[in-house]
């Protein structure tokens, strides 16, 4: 039964790829709001409204469980959605918590007080809206103490990926890593806090150096979703068919998705 995957554009395909490999029996409906990407420069109200619209579209496809495979939406909209908007019988989950659990070496559902962890200096690369929300630091503080987080807003990277310009995206990654390392010369770990960024993971790793552990969300979210559906099978929705939906031009979005994932992806108009 279908599960929805939402992103502002192409980035969530990295999550979809990982969860589809882990759960081959589950149909997934992917919704990319390419018309309004990037979200990272929008206001919190804008992000909330657009994310709610996309979530409702996925519910209409029979996806009672929707994963916000978009850190900006997870940071700026998810808590407000959960507090004020999501009706009984539906669930919307974000992508921050699985990553933070991995970083702090906690199991799902470990609600013990925050404690010292091995990693002390963490570089966070994210969109301007995610950085401004401080959602990553807030979630981390529930689980760990004594961790220094240096956040770098990576303006332009999502735009370059959405435009299919890998050369520009790689150049921007190097520039943002250099800017962060001027403030934190020796990070122990780096968090790719946008689901577009795993498409540039090699560029981040090369710029950071081999000694920095890079945390990318796709496989962590796949593990967490597998566990969630095992515990909560009622949130397998009634949908039966996998499909890719976009608010952008389906032909253009399909071409760019195919370029980045190195396999044929065909989008339909949402």
**Residues with catalytic annotation?**
70, 194
Secondary structure of residue 166 in the 3-state scheme: helix
Q: How many CA atoms lie within 13 A of 16 on its CB side?
A: 27
What are the residues whose beta carbons fall under 8 Å from the beta carbon of 113, sequence distance 6 or more?
none
- Contact between residue 69 and residue 17 where contact means Cβ atoms under 8 Å apart: no
Beta bridge partners of 145: 116
Copy the structure tokens of residue 114. Answer: 């925050």
Antiparallel, parallel or unpaired: β 28-32 and 144-145: unpaired
Rounded Cα–Cα distance for residues 45 and 33 (Å): 16
Would you list the DSSP string of 21-36? HH-TTS-EEEEE-GGG
- Contact between residue 124 and residue 149 where contact means Cβ atoms under 8 Å apart: yes
């Amino acid at each position: 039964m279908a599960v929805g995957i939402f992103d502002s554009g192409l980035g969530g395909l990295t999550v979809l790829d990982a969860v589809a490999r882990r759960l081959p029996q589950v149909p997934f409906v992917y919704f990319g709001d390419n018309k309004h990407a990037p979200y990272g420069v929008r206001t919190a109200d804008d992000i909330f409204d657009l994310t709610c619209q996309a979530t409702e579209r996925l519910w209409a496809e029979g996806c009672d469980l929707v994963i916000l495979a978009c850190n900006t939406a997870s940071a700026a909209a998810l808590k407000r959605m959960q507090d004020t908007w999501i009706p009984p019988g539906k669930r919307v989950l974000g992508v921050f918590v699985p990553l933070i659990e991995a970083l702090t070496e906690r199991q799902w559902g470990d609600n013990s007080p925050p404690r010292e962890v091995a990693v002390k200096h963490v570089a966070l690369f994210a969109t301007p809206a995610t950085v401004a929300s401080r959602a990553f630091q807030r979630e981390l503080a529930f689980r760990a103490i004594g961790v220094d987080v240096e956040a770098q807003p990576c303006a332009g990277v999502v735009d370059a990926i959405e435009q299919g310009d890998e050369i520009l995206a790689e150049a921007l990654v190097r520039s943002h890593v250099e800017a962060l390392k001027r403030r934190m010369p020796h990070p122990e770990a780096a968090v790719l806090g946008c689901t577009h960024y795993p498409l540039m993971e090699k560029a981040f790793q090369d710029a950071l150096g081999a000694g920095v552990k890079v945390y990318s969300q796709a496989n962590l979210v796949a593990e967490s979703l597998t566990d969630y559906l095992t515990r909560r099978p009622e949130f397998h929705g009634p949908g039966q068919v996998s499909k890719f939906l976009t608010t952008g031009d389906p032909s253009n979005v399909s071409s760019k998705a195919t370029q980045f994932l190195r396999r044929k992806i065909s989008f339909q108009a949402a």
